[in-house]
């Protein structure tokens, strides 16, 4: 079974309490975000997904005037050991909001549609080394 490379980012009431979590400034939250992540390439790829989704949750909630006291996103996935091909990335969202269930469901659907990093990965990403 492939290893699971999970990361969690959170802000507000759902920021990770892990003392080893990395604190980062964040446009949408005064206290910033906290990321529980191991510094490996696999984890950093998933951090990009989780961070993007978290950022877009706040942005889209703000645009819709929906209150968000806290949010946490966990992204995870594996890789085929022989080729390091991704087996896919999944993410899970936890939201602390007084918005209705219907409003939260719409918000999550919009974020899934517009989040830039997941969109780019879904299309495939050419990667090449450049020379100085």
Q: Can you list the domains of the chain with their CATH numbers?
A: 7-129 (3.30.300.20)
Q: Rounded to whole angstroms, how far apart are CA atoms 94 and 74?
A: 9
Higher pLDDT, 60 or 29: 60
**How many CB atoms sit inside 10 A of residue 127's CB?**
4
Strand order, beta sheet including 86-96: 22-26, 29-36, 7-12, 70-79, 86-96
Q: Which of 23-37, 85-99, 102-116 has the lowest mean pLDDT?
A: 23-37
**How many CB atoms sit inside 10 A of residue 96's CB?**
15
Report the DSSP beta bridge partners of residue 29. 26
What pLDDT sits at residue 56?
A: 98
Nearest Cα neighbor of 86 from 45, 50, 128 is 45
Each residue of 50-82: pLDDT tens digit?
999 999 999 999 999 999 999 999 999 999 989
Evaluate if residue 1 carries a pLDDT over 90.
no
What pLDDT sits at residue 2?
A: 60
**N- to C-terminal Cα separation, the chain:** 39
């Amino acid at each position: 079974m492939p290893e699971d490379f999970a990361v969690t980012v959170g802000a507000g009431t759902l920021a990770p309490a892990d003392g080893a979590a990395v604190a980062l400034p964040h446009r949408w939250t005064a206290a910033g975000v906290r990321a529980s992540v191991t510094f490996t390439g696999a984890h950093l790829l998933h951090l990009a997904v989780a961070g993007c989704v978290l950022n877009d949750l706040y942005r889209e909630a703000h645009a819709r005037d929906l209150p968000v006291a806290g949010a946490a996103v966990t992204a995870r996935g594996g890789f085929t050991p022989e080729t390091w091909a991704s087996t896919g990335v999944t993410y899970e969202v936890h939201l602390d909001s007084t918005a209705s269930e219907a409003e939260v469901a719409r918000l999550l659907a919009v974020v899934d549609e517009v989040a830039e990093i997941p969109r780019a990965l879904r299309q495939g990403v050419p990667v090449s080394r450049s020379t100085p």
